Amino acid sequence: MAYLQSMPKSETIRIREKHVGAACQLFFRSSPLKIVRGIAQYMYDETGERYLDCINNVAHVGHCHPHVVEAGRNQMSLISTNNRYLHDELVILAERLVKTLPEPLSVCFFVNSGSEANDLALRLARIHTKNKDVITLDHAYHGHLTSMIDVSPYKFNLPGGPEKPEWVHVAPVPDVYRGKYVYPNDSVNEEELGKLYANEVGKICKESKSKNGGVCAFIAESLQSCGGQIIPPEGYFKEVYQHVREADGVCIADEVQVGFGRVGTHMWAFETQDVIPDIVTMGKPMGNGHPVAAVITTPEIAKSFADTGVEYFNTYGGNPVSCAIANAVLDVIEEERLMERAHRVGNHLLSRCEQLKHKHSLVGDVRGKGLFVGVELVTDRETRTPATAEAKHVVNRMREEKILISRDGPDSNVLKFKPPMVFSTQDADRLVDTLDRVLAELDGTRTSIKLQVLVTPLEETNDASISASVQQSIKSM
Ligand code: PMP
């Protein structure tokens, strides 16, 4: 069944190319998808074709969940105003979120996006510590605002990216598969690896303390997603937080991607490392697609901010509609026991992906927690050389099989799975069975595939021929 659309796909593309900034890139650029409807873990294009969505961690409780839609619709029909008026949805949301967090994280600020949340977190850290030096991890991404690009090597390290400011210090990402210190390694165990990586942050802290009087903040995702689905070694954050606090800095946990129960065992991914941050930022899944985000901190840090006497006003942050939606998302997480589900289905997905490692030499590493899983492809397991072209091919082939996955990491060779939390074991089986087939196609034909992919990139084409190739692909649909 095709769905009612206001214009044909070719026209959508034509107008987009004419009036939308080219820096806003599409998935599958040479043959983009036009998605017109979603339900649970599925998305539908304009022809009615159904895709299994394995990457949309924003549609946390499932695309267009009726309870969330209803909450938004109801509140829209009543009032949407700003947080200078009292409203129950806002205070209920604040109280519910705080209940999920360890003490002393108890003061909320509501904003509209992950970028805004991290920007405010940095502002709080600056005001509280009066220091300037910020430590970030290599390949990290924390948002699109100017202040966030400054602390996002994922962006500023790109060829056309801006220069890294002198107050930003980049520590190695604790990637125990292809990072500075790797595992397995005869001389160290996992905990020692955590220490080695944490010492890298410690060195920066000591230098900052002696040169500039101290650190402002350490900001990191609790599990690095944009950097390639990285699971830090045990004990890493505990050591890091100690170093940062000894240098008078605050610790910011970016939970924008990995929060709200995705890891299965805990509501917040930092809890898997048994640490308590000074500031937590959250967004994406919080509104299931509606823009709502938050910063939660300690009374002490919030007081430093209030003591400046400068009002914090955010026109849309904490509006009743956003808060009603976020409350509805929390309802669904609880009522449908989605955290437990992430644990159960995630373990199944992870173990099925592990099996692929025994079948396909391309699969170098499989890692994950809950419904946050990465499969790293390498051309050689000894050298751990990234299989970038192969990963690109796999993403495109999976799309042909109506399964949407993506790839990430500094070499774009890590297949990334972070589906809506309503993902089932059957979905996991379909994903892995199909991936198994696609990888089997690649076994033995790697050289020719590599050449073909490099010559005609489907997923990423950024040249003037887009229009023509898109028209071509539409004709063939
Ligand atoms: N932090 C992380 C870890 C993210 O992945 C993102 C978005 N990809 C952001 C912050 C920024 O969020 P937003 O796009 O909602 O501004």
> How far, in Å, is the centroid of ligand 1 from the Cα of 375?
22
Cβ–ligand 1 distance for 55 under 6 Å, the answer no
Cβ–ligand 1 distance for 118 under 6 Å, the answer yes
Please answer whether residues 433 and 477 qualify as being in contact, where contact means their C-beta atoms are separated by less than 8 angstroms.
no
- Is 60 exceeded by the pLDDT of residue 281? yes
- The stretch 70-77 carries a mean pLDDT of 98
Cβ–ligand 1 distance for 406 under 6 Å, the answer no
Please answer whether residues 138 and 171 qualify as being in contact, where contact means their C-beta atoms are separated by less than 8 angstroms.
yes
- Is 70 exceeded by the pLDDT of residue 370? yes
Residues contacting 463, CB < 8 A, separation 6+: none
> How far, in Å, is the centroid of ligand 1 from the Cα of 475?
35
Mean pLDDT estimate for the chain: 92
Give how far Cα 268 sits from Cα of 253, 340, 416, Å. Answer: 9, 13, 19
- Is 50 exceeded by the pLDDT of residue 429? yes
> How far, in Å, is the centroid of ligand 1 from the Cα of 455?
32
> How far, in Å, is the centroid of ligand 1 from the Cα of 116?
9
Band (1; pLDDT cuts 50, 70, 90): low
Closest ligand 1 atom number to CA of residue 118: 10
Please answer whether residues 294 and 109 qualify as being in contact, where contact means their C-beta atoms are separated by less than 8 angstroms.
yes
**Class of the domain covering 66-335:** alpha beta
Report helix angle 388-400 to 425-442, nearest 10: 120
Ligand 1 mutation target, pool 229, 284, 372, most atoms within 8 A of CB = 284
Ligand 1 mutation target, pool 115, 223, 279, most atoms within 8 A of CB = 115
Q: Give the residue whose CA is nearest to atom 1 of ligand 1.
A: 142
CA 194 to chain centre: 22
pTM recorded for the entire structure? 0.93
2-61+338-475 folds as Aspartate Aminotransferase, domain 1 (3.90.1150)
Where are the domains positioned within the chain?
2-61+338-475, 66-335
Counting every residue written for the chain, the total comes to 477
Q: What is the pLDDT of residue 461?
A: 31
Cβ–ligand 1 distance for 256 under 6 Å, the answer yes
Q: What is the pLDDT of residue 455?
A: 35
Q: What is the pLDDT of residue 473?
A: 30
How far is it, in rounded angstroms, from Cα 448 to Cα 444? 9
Please answer whether residues 84 and 314 qualify as being in contact, where contact means their C-beta atoms are separated by less than 8 angstroms.
no
Q: Give the residue whose CA is nearest to atom 12 of ligand 1.
A: 114
Q: Give the residue whose CA is nearest to atom 7 of ligand 1.
A: 143
How far is it, in rounded angstroms, from Cα 9 to Cα 11? 5
Please answer whether residues 380 and 365 qualify as being in contact, where contact means their C-beta atoms are separated by less than 8 angstroms.
no
Please write the tens of the pLDDT for every residue from 250-266. Answer: 999 999 999 999 999 99
Cβ–ligand 1 distance for 143 under 6 Å, the answer yes
Q: Give the residue whose CA is nearest to atom 10 of ligand 1.
A: 142
> How far, in Å, is the centroid of ligand 1 from the Cα of 297?
19
- Is 50 exceeded by the pLDDT of residue 465? no
Pair of tokens at residue 354: 């592990």
> How far, in Å, is the centroid of ligand 1 from the Cα of 369?
19
